[in-house]
């Protein structure tokens, strides 16, 4: 309940703030070749921020959509560049996978101040100092199921609920890059090996040749 309330507050506050800068969210790798039973780790990355300068990312709320008939979601891990959750530098307000599965909510709120100039507590570390222009927000883990048939592909998508900088201003994600997982098509039978019917005809032909050779 506490996580749900915090996630709602993040979304509401960021929606009211004015847009500040367009950024890109991606799932990486963008494409992979997989087979049933394979473990797949996808990084949710952000790019287009300032490189150790404003704007930095102070909060995000993102939904990850996938096909539960083809993938099993096994867990996620947040990055540390909004602050270390275990040290109380950020709140993990994610609600995880939906019921029924297929939509994963990832949300985090940083408690770090954006910079040393506009700070209140001024204890650091500061978001502008620790964040490059591109970094990993979270890593999601899946297992490929037999529901992904040979020659088929499945896509993992991103939907943004809210993004905000270190001051609470809204950030706009102008590009969302999904990840596509493909299972190779079943290989065709080897062309150089005769099929059973061909072998039978060859056998009959050889028998007739032997018969006439003894006649």
Least confident among 1-15, 107-121, 164-178: 1-15
Question: Looking at residues 52-67, what average pLDDT do you find?
Answer: 98
Predicted confidence at residue 188, as pLDDT, reads: 81
pLDDT for 13: 47
Residue 57's domain comprises: 2-190
- Residue 16 phi/psi, 5-degree rounding, is -80, -20
Of the two residues 19 and 130, the one the predictor is more confident about is 130
For residue 43, how many other CB atoms are within 10 A of its CB? 16
CA distance 102 to 67: 6
**Neighbouring residues of 128: CB distance < 8 A, sequence distance ≥ 6:** 50, 52, 53, 54, 56, 114, 115, 166
Reported as type and span, the H/E element at residue 202 is helix 196-214
pLDDT of residue 19: 45
Q: Does 93 reside within a domain?
A: yes
HSE at residue 49, side-chain half, CA atoms within 13 A, is 33
Distance linking the first and last C-alpha atoms of the chain = 94
pLDDT at 197: 59
Distances in Å between the alpha carbon of 138 and those of 45, 66, 203?
7, 16, 63
> What number is the average pLDDT over the span 19-29?
83
- How far is residue 205 from each of residues 42, 182, 194, 200, measured CA to CA in Å? 58, 46, 15, 9
Per the CB < 8 A criterion, the answer to whether 107 and 94 are in contact is yes
Res. 64: pLDDT tops 50? yes
The CATH number linked to 168 is 2.60.40.680
CB contact at 8 A, 182 and 33: yes
In a domain, 215, yes or no: no
The pLDDT tens digits for 129-168 are: 999 999 999 999 999 999 999 999 999 999 999 999 999 9
pLDDT at 82 over 90: yes
Cβ-based neighbour number of residue 143 at 10 Å:
14
> 116, 125 in Cβ contact below 8 A?
no
Predicted confidence (pLDDT) per residue in 187-204, tens digit: 887 776 555 655 566 666
Residue 36 belongs to some domain of the structure = yes
Number of domains in the chain: 1
**pTM of the full structure:** 0.80
> Mean pLDDT of all residues in the chain?
88
Q: Which residues contact 121 (CB under 8 A, 6 or more apart)?
A: 113
pLDDT of residue 39: 99
pLDDT of residue 213: 57
Give a yes or no: residue 197 inside a domain: no
pLDDT of residue 16 exceeding 60, the answer is no
């Amino acid at each position: 309940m506490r996580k749900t309330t915090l996630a709602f507050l993040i979304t509401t506050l960021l929606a009211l703030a004015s847009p500040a800068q367009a950024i890109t969210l991606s799932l990486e790798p963008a494409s992979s070749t997989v087979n049933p039973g394979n473990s797949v780790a996808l990084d949710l990355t952000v790019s287009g921020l300032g490189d150790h300068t404003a704007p930095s990312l102070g909060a995000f709320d993102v939904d990850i959509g996938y096909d539960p008939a083809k993938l099993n979601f096994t867990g996620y891990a947040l990055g540390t560049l909004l602050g270390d959750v275990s040290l109380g530098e950020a709140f993990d307000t994610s609600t995880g996978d939906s019921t029924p599965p297929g939509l994963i909510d990832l949300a985090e709120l940083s408690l770090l101040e954006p910079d040393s100039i506009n700070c209140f507590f001024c204890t650091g570390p500061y978001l502008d100092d620790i964040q490059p222009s591109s970094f990993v927000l979270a890593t999601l883990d899946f297992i490929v199921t037999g529901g992904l048939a040979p020659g088929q592909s499945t896509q993992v998508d991103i939907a943004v609920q809210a993004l905000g900088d270190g001051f609470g201003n809204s950030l706009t994600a102008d590009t969302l890059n999904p990840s596509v997982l493909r299972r190779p098509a079943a290989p065709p039978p080897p062309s150089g090996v005769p099929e059973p019917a061909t072998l039978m005809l060859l056998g009959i032909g050889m028998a007739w040749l032997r018969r006439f050779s003894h006649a």
